[in-house]
Chains A and B, each alone.
Chain A
Amino acid sequence: MITRRLVRWLDERVGTAGLGRAALSKVFPNHWSFLLGEIALYSFIVLILTGVYLTFFFDPSTATITYDGSYEPLVGVEMSQAYRSVLELTFDVRAGLVMRQTHHWAAVVFAAAIVAHMARVFFTGAFRRPRELNWIIGITLLLMAILNGFAGYSLLDDQLSGTGLRILYSVVLAVPLVGTWIASLLFGGNFPGTQILERLFVIHILIVPVVIGLLLVLHMGLLLRHRHTHFPGGGATDRNVVGERLWPTYALKAGGFFFLTSGALVLMGGIFQINPIWIYGPFRPGNVSAASQPDWYMGWLEGSLRLMPPWEVRAFGFMLPNPFFSGVLLPGVTFGLLYAWPFMEAWLTGDHAEHHVLDRPRDRPVRTALGVAALTFFTILMVAGADDVLAVTFDLEFNRMVWVFRTLLLVAPPVAAFVTYRLCIELVQRERDSQASLPAAAETVT
């Protein structure tokens, strides 16, 4: 048959048969939470496919023209070629809007899946030796996803993303010593400059995707080398992997899941409108709209900027302006802690052993409590970033909300940590009690 002949043809030239056999027999443990990383990977593939399509239509140019297309409310309005090309894609290119919306929803889900996957890895202790390197690669992937998402939606030169770019410029300015230089070099001068769209384009379609691609190869490569972790039970130990073979079972499931993920993203791209830039209008330096927020994965930074009290440090003629604390220090410390976590935990617990069996979150109450506290902290920041929208929707007062959120930010994480800790202890205790009352210990089946 064709497959046989192809395999022989390849093996004669590359010698792949042995490798292939080993690869196809690889064992993958079967648990839904192991598919979170796959959601991210498949979203990335959708991003690449739809993204390439979009590059054939997008014009990354700040040159201005007067619009004369089919969207009536903007006919006669001056705008950049970039903005015009997106309007054309939306209103005049068949399947253009569905591709663009699928691309944007894929970016939203990509970031969400990475965070969910990161949380799973954290709460199950899968970052421990030998996987510290993979954790570091993963955090970098998260950073890249956030940066590329921001760069991507800023390319359209609409009012909303332009406001976001202005804020980015100001936060970069706030970096001590070199901030003004980095901002000027990145933008080609003062805001808005004449170069930022063209440069963001290169960053968005080439530099960061290549970095993500390389990191993904490393990430999956390490996964193959280490083999996947697995939950306790069903005979799982640190010296084996219990699950299904790659071929045919896992391949069909993973392949099917790829189609399901891309199907979900395309469905969202068709029925949920996202980033309606024709309503925001083209970017103008003097204009701004109420309810200006970045995409969700930057929401925590937005909340940080809003909640930060008006502190500024000025000494010896130098200044640490307010956005430094909320826009530079906070994310710096956040990512610093994220990167350092496997090493910090190993040092704190004294556990430097190799682990391939996962923890159940309840079995590690301190780590789980800390993780929940962190999630609480960042969720409060994210919600605070939408305080004006919440104020209008629920008829609240944002002045008061700011104070409430500031208080919650300090109070809620410790409370959440305490509650989580007690919950873990309680759950484990109940299990022990119910197992102790059984005549013989039943084998736990995963």
Chain B
Amino acid sequence: MRRILLQVALLAVLAAPLGALATTVGPGSARAQVDDVDAGRELFLTGCVSCHGPDGVGTDQGPTLIGVGAAAADFMLRTGRMPLAVPGQQPPRKEPAYNDADITYLVAYVASLGPGPDIPDVDPQRGDMAVGGELYRENCAACHQAAGSGGALSYGRHAPSLHQATATEIGEAPRIGPGQMPVFGPEVLSDSDLDSIALYVLQLDDPADPGGLSLGRIGPVAEGFVGILIGLGTLIVVARWVTRSRHQRLAEATEVDR
């Protein structure tokens, strides 16, 4: 691991002037250097080839990576969904298995396999909160829920919660359509739409909640629980206190003595 890093570092230092003039491999990897791709290939051969096949052609354990683009690789690796321990289940979000540098190399390599969506340049500050909210409620809330808490899909899959997503991830997912998610290309959601959606979704991570404890913002299910168990429950306890008499307490005392 360290040897590879060392080699890469040396190569980078020596080849930097050349690298700056290097031609790209495919439209999705404009900034990838030939050495990034090589480093990525090395990592790929150790961590990914068993499911995704040599040169990413795919196996019966994992889909082909040819044409998925830098966005897909970046999304999967940064959210820790890849590498996946048990193929076939919906990959859960977890801590990334690779550090930033390794992710960059792997992304470069996957991008080099074939043309695909580039990592989008998402800047929430360029976005419009109201537009983002409208687009979110039109296109995203049906699966991800109005407050971004996630929703159920068929056969145990689910549209995940968006509360941990970064702006870039919020831009990447619609472009690649991971899992059951449809693909939202640039003609459907423009790059500036993604900026607005990201601004809105990031706000959902920590909304105002002026009403107090948010109860998860999933609506009447949680509210019903609280209303019945805490509301009615407390009042029943209070009712028992109000109606308990000395007479009753004496009788209980007598019973205990028996």
Contacts and interface: CB of A to CB of B under 8 A. Distances in A.
Direct contact of A and B (CB under 8 A): yes
A31 B131 CA distance: 57
A287 B245 contact: no
Residue from A105, A159, A274, A445 having most chain B Cβ neighbours under 10 A: A274
Interface in A373-398: 386-389, 391-392, 395-398
B232 A113 contact: yes
Contacts of A299: 220, 224
Contact of B209 (A72, A273, A289, A446): A273
Interface stretch (A180-188, A208-216, A276-284, A339-347): A276-284
B239 A392 contact: no
A36 B214 contact: no
Nearest to A30: B243
B258 to A, nearest CB: 8
A247 interface: no
A276 B239 CA distance: 31
B226 to A, nearest CB: 6
Contacts of A386: 221
Interface stretch (A5-13, A54-62, A263-271, A415-423): A263-271
Contacts of A113: 232, 235
A223 B56 CA distance: 79
Interface stretch (B41-49, B71-79, B80-88, B154-162): B154-162
A281 B146 contact: yes
B150 A290 contact: yes
Contact of A112 (B146, B218, B228, B251): B228
Contacts of B158: 391-392, 395
A284 B235 contact: no
B133 interface: yes
A74 interface: yes
Contacts of B133: 73-74, 77, 281
- Chain A contact residues: over half helix, strand or loop, or mixed? helix
Interface in A386-432: 386-389, 391-392, 395-400
Main secondary structure of the interface of B (DSSP, over half): helix
Contact of A274 (B218, B223, B244): B223
A287 B146 CA distance: 10
B231 A108 contact: yes
Contacts of B228: 108, 112, 296
A286 B251 CA distance: 64
Instruction: Kindly name the residue among A108, A265, A399 whose own CB sees the greatest number of chain B CB atoms within 10 A.
Output: A108
B129 interface: yes
Contact of B217 (A279, A284, A288, A296): A279
A191 interface: no
A295 B211 contact: no
A155 B258 CA distance: 60
Contact of B151 (A34, A276, A279, A291): A291
Contact of A32 (B207, B232, B240): B240
Contacts of A32: 236, 239-240, 242-244
Contact of B138 (A33, A116, A275, A287): A287
A253 interface: yes
Contacts of B239: 32-33, 35-36, 38-39, 257
A368 interface: no
B238 interface: yes
A77 B232 contact: no
B146 A279 contact: yes
A284 B223 contact: no
A380 to B, nearest CB: 15
A292 B142 CA distance: 9
B156 A396 contact: yes
A281 B211 contact: no
A388 B143 CA distance: 11
B242 A257 contact: yes
A160 B223 CA distance: 14
Contact of A271 (B144, B203, B213, B232): B213
A290 B141 contact: yes
Interface string B194-237: 00000010011001111111110111110110111011101110
A39 B251 contact: no
Nearest to A397: B156
Given A257-B242, A290-B152, A73 B145 contact: no
Given A73-B200, A290-B141, A389-B221, A35 B154 contact: no
B137 A284 contact: yes
A210 B213 CA distance: 34
B49 to A, nearest CB: 30
Contacts of A293: 219-221
22 contacts: A32-B242, A36-B236, A39-B232, A75-B130, A101-B212, A108-B227, A109-B235, A113-B232, A159-B141, A264-B231, A274-B211, A276-B211, A281-B146, A287-B142, A294-B220, A296-B228, A386-B221, A391-B152, A392-B151, A392-B158, A398-B154, A445-B248
Given A30-B245, A109-B235, A264-B235, 18 more contacts: A32-B243, A34-B243, A73-B130, A73-B133, A108-B231, A109-B231, A159-B141, A272-B226, A276-B214, A276-B217, A279-B147, A280-B219, A288-B142, A290-B141, A290-B151, A290-B152, A386-B221, A392-B151
9 shortest interchain CB distances as A-B pairs? A290-B151, A296-B224, A273-B211, A108-B227, A397-B156, A391-B152, A76-B130, A388-B152, A35-B239
Interface of B: 128-131, 133-134, 137-138, 141-147, 149-152, 154-156, 158-159, 200, 203-204, 207-215, 217-221, 223-224, 226-228, 230-232, 234-236, 238-240, 242-245, 247-248, 251
